[in-house]
């Protein structure tokens, strides 16, 4: 659906672009066919999904030429997010320690007596004991934030380096969102009720992740586009007189 939405977003550019077939598009079609055949031989559906962007991009390149293909490059690249990344869930294990340490720091900052050890948050009065699970720093939240950040930079940023920098920080935005969400759970456990915090509130606390993460993304994007930062970049890039 997002792919179709991006195509619709660029519909005027696609209609106005000069169209002339280009045989170089067959190179990308060939790469897509290779991935698809390899997926069938190896019984790896992920490779079949990886073939889709190449097949679509190559077909457009072949039928309508490089100008139209350039416009749909990002929508085709966005299809990479179709590939499930659950197999690398273990790679986010270290993030559990980062989030735990960040929560411990925030608790000390506001005067809450909470011990952050390993991946465990324990109240000094033993009122609650929470463990930061893999889902609280998992690949799903990182992937979702990377998708949203990719769309954001594609639509709002006009400089390639800004797109790369903001997208590169999408992992940090996801971390900020998760830290903010879990910190609210600690606050509810401390001032309301621990069982409510680890039960019903925890189940619906995902609603806090995206507002916090998106706010971090928007603030960082505004910072990169602020006059003060832009002037510093221009002074750095300008040749010495």
* 34-73 confidence digits (pLDDT tens): 999 998 888 888 788 889 999 999 999 999 999 999 999 9
Q: So what's the pLDDT on residue 229?
A: 65
User: Do residues 120 and 186 lie in contact, with contact meaning Cβ atoms separated by under 8 Å?
Assistant: no
User: Do residues 32 and 61 lie in contact, with contact meaning Cβ atoms separated by under 8 Å?
Assistant: no
Select from 150, 29, 159 the least CA-distant residue to 79: 150
Which residues on neighbouring strands pair with residue 129, listed in sequence order? 122
Q: So what's the pLDDT on residue 240?
A: 47
**pLDDT cut 70: percent of the chain above it:** 88
Residues in the chain, total: 241
* 121-141 confidence digits (pLDDT tens): 888 888 888 877 665 555 677
User: Do residues 3 and 79 lie in contact, with contact meaning Cβ atoms separated by under 8 Å?
Assistant: yes
Give the Cα separation of 223 and 32 in Å (integer): 39
* 223-234 confidence digits (pLDDT tens): 888 876 666 555
Q: So what's the pLDDT on residue 218?
A: 93
Q: Specify the pTM.
A: 0.79
């Amino acid at each position: 659906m997002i792919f179709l939405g991006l195509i619709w977003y660029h519909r005027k550019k696609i209609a106005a672009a000069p169209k002339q077939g280009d045989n170089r598009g067959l190179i990308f079609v060939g790469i897509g066919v290779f991935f698809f055949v390899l997926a069938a031989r190896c019984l790896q559906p992920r490779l079949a999904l990886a073939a889709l962007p190449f097949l679509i991009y190559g077909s457009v390149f072949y039928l309508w030429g490089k100008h139209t293909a350039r416009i749909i490059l990002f929508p085709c690249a966005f299809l990479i997010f179709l590939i499930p990344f659950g197999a690398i869930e273990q790679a986010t294990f270290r993030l559990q320690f980062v989030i735990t340490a960040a929560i411990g720091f925030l608790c000390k900052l506001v005067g809450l007596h909470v011990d952050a050890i390993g991946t465990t948050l324990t109240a000094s009065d033993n009122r609650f004991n929470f463990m930061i699970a893999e889902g609280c720093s998992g690949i799903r939240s990182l992937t979702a934030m990377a998708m949203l950040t990719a769309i954001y930079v594609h639509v709002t940023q006009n400089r390639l380096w800004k797109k790369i920098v903001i997208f590169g920080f999408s992992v940090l935005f996801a971390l900020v969102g998760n830290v903010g969400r879990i910190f609210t759970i600690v606050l509810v456990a401390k001032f309301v009720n621990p069982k409510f915090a680890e039960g019903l509130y925890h189940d619906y606390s995902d609603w806090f992740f995206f507002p916090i993460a998106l706010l971090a993304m928007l603030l960082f994007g505004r910072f990169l586009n602020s006059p003060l930062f832009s002037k510093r970049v221009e002074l750095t890039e300008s040749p010495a007189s």
